[in-house]
Amino acid sequence: LVIVVKNRWSGYGQFALMVDTIIEQQTDGGTQCFPLKLFDTISEDDGGLFSEQSDGIEISSRSSISENYLRSVKAHYKTEFTEEDLFYYIYGLLHSAEYRERFKNNLTKELPRIPAVKMFKDFMAFSQAGRKLGDLHVNYETVDPYPVTFKEGDLKLAQIPDPVEFYRVK
């Protein structure tokens, strides 16, 4: 899982999206990617590029959240939680309307800074919201579609003068 932070050139600052696959290279300005885990090669197959031996490669994973940062956040709340809780807290916070408004000037020109909320229950609320939102963003293709009925009959025959307003979700 990776939190992708993209700067929008239209003046709206940044947006964050969680993905579980390699994304396109973003030729219009690029992205910054913050993974949940980092993967390291322990031993390599020395048979060369066209070697058929794939058993010689070993991969290990580790958290991408530094021990110092995790320790400092745990000291702030004086309680235990996992790296995943912190990862999803960050994702939930990046989608908070209050956070985006408060830091909107900074978000147009630099990477997001992650403040600590005052109470641990709020930290966990952001973490749980980030977990649900991340699941929705990563697994959106597996969700059952919302049933839609059109009052006007078949949409293929409809005359839509303003498609943006017609398809706007309210």
pTM of the model: 0.74
Q: Which residues of the chain have pLDDT under 50?
A: none
Q: What is the pLDDT of residue 40?
A: 82
Q: What is the pLDDT of residue 26?
A: 60
| DSSP output for 118-159 | SSHHHHHHHHHHHHHHHHHHHSGGGSPPPP---TTS-GGG--
Amino acid code (one letter) for 57: I
CA distance 124 to 79: 12
| Three-class secondary structure of residue 15 per DSSP | strand
Q: What is the pLDDT of residue 146?
A: 81
